Structure 1
């Protein structure tokens, strides 16, 4: 294995796995697999990039650090020479962590400094300029992320956020340096190491910037960022003769489908509304879930009664609705009960013969992916064709193949759900 990725949630893991598998023209990408948690045994033969999916984004800081270090040790044992800590392109965290503490622990374990910090993903409207994170034409703090129920982002200055989360010194590689080329970026990072700066927030406003940065990182042992920072990494390995290039082929998967949505982002709410206009939907009453009146059996009955269609069950709500529910029952308890509900439902769906799963929301995706992988005893998910930017088809082979699409809340076109199910059948 050449590159190892530690991702702090499941949709983010799918996003960067897609980037590594797709690569850039004409070189292509790497043979990539996504793992539901840290595997117990060795990686399958032939995997060039391994992405470990954790649920560390909203875990207690100590747990997030411990899980990430465990993932690091497994990846190093597989022979990885380059490690990438992947977090969301909106830098989802709190003033206490978890991005800073995890990155600091990884840097300490690897003896790394001058480590790039770059959440930019221009294809999804996320750019970094003057050390500040933008979502399209808005600062992160004005983008809607300031209302996120778990990781509200109220400060767009990534240097300041990192400084609050870590004891490390934080530098900056500005846009003019990036535009001067990869040699200039590499020199700036070397100067940062000489100054004792552990991290360097690096500006990027286009894919060309990310490719420039990627070239400068050919020999970097530790990198942190959103999925965009991986854009140029396969090219480095292919040009050096360490990888052949190309991409893993997809496999068509038919059969009953289920859509599960647990995100309250504006994009997901719009996707739910569009899908509901022509397809069976079930709005999950969270209060009834907390009271034990809505269970996995309830959801299974809904899906079974619409097995020939494209049924969608969702717990999504507006920020005010979500906040009111959390105030009433407690944020952690609500999240736990919903994760458990979706995981148990996924197991029942598999046993009932459902073979296509489309999931919205990082926490929900993590719960479903872990349940599916455990039920099928297959920890490695193969990366297939891209549905929308940042969202590939994931597949588990076997006598009855299974396909999944794990969508971050803000990702995907308005018709994403229908598009995902169609592409699974024709992959």
Structure 2
């Protein structure tokens, strides 16, 4: 029975997180939408038997706030119904959001539903060039608001300070813990998180490498809700470390297809690269 449930605000983010969890020894399933997660009936075979983690893929990143909150809560309830007791809210490592949300409102709703009073905010994913230092988010060394994300058509990111981006979105206080505290180790970081000054807060925690993420994961191992990019999963220890591995690739000669639906600068560059090398077709969505 799975004990870790994750709610991802888009499909590619769900697969990113699932890949990281598999690499950490979690037997992981991605379910598309809350409806795909159901408790078995009294006479049915448990479809989640042998599964350690379930990641629910939503399309809530740029949905209206009320819709994003509703689908996230339905995903949470479905995950708890199949036994998940720890919840991971996964959003993009570039903190894609508008001044209204949806990261803050969804986090608030998940805290209220789970009865948790506080959580951490960890968008760092050093393997993809996303780091947080001084609560400032960097993309391959550039501040977020100077990166191509400042021109995003749906969520233009015009500030690199994660705490400032989050404050207008949440009812909770927003706090910061810097790299110096993280580098003191898990016990020191946990003591800082337990400080009464951070009671009820969403705490943005710095991380610039994988060791920092492992420290944060260790310090929050009993938090009922954590939030972050897929990188935070690097610090989690799955129940099957002997099975920890990279996600399987296709065998040589197997058929394959690449679908690209993003208009980000990185995706446009990848598409341009592929067009020079692979057979291709533009799909008419209508």
Corresponding residue for 2:13? 12
Specify which of 208, 219, 239 is matched with residue 211 of structure 2. 208
Q: How do 1:311-326 and structure 2 match up within 5 A?
A: none
- Determine if contact 1:94/1:151 at 8 Å carries over to the other structure: yes
Q: Residue 217 of structure 1: CA displacement? A: 1.4
Distance 1:196 1:251 in 2: 44
Residues 275 and 40 of structure 1: is their aligned pair in 2 closer, same or farther, counting only changes over 3 Å? closer
Which structure's CA Rg is the greater one? 1
Shift of 1:191: 1.0
Q: Secondary structure at the match of 2:259?
A: strand
Q: Does 1:50 align with 2:50?
A: no
| Higher helix content, 1 or 2 | 1
- Distance (whole Å) between structure 2 residues aligned to residue 113 and residue 189 of structure 1: 12
Match of 1:373 in 2: none
**Conservation of the 8 A alpha-carbon contact between 2:175 and 2:198:** no
In 2, are the aligned partners of 1:86 and 1:227 still within 8 Å (CA)? yes
Partner of 1:41: 38
Alignment partner, residue 272 of structure 2: 273
Query: Normalising to structure 1: TM-score of the pair?
Result: 0.61
C-alpha change, 1:31 and 1:142, in structure 2 (3 Å) is: same
Number of residue pairs aligned between Structure 1 and Structure 2: 275
Poorly superposed stretches of 4+, deviation over 6 Å: none
Residues in 1 aligned to 2:37 and 2:84: alpha-carbon distance in whole angstroms: 17
Note the residue ranges of structure 1 that are not aligned, 5 or more in a row. 24-28, 285-294, 296-337, 342-427
Q: TM-score, normalised by structure 2?
A: 0.90
2:103 aligned to which of 91, 99, 102: 99
Superposed CA RMSD:
1.9
Distance 1:191 1:71 in 2: 31
Distance 2:15 2:123 in 1: 16
Q: How far has the Cα of 1:145 moved from its partner?
A: 0.3
| Structure 2 alignment gaps of length 5 or more | 40-46
**Cα distance, 1:251 vs structure 2:** 7.8
Aligned to 2:226: 223
Name 1:402's counterpart in structure 2: none
Q: Which residue of 2 aligns with 1:3?
A: 4
Counterparts of 1:6-405 in structure 2, within 5 Å, are 6-23=7-24, 29-38=25-34, 39-42=36-39, 43-192=47-196, 195-233=198-236, 235=237, 238=239, 243=240, 245-247=242-244, 250=248, 252=250, 256-283=255-282, 295=284, 338=285, 341=286
Relative contact order (alpha carbons < 8 A, sep ≥ 6): 1 or 2 greater? 2
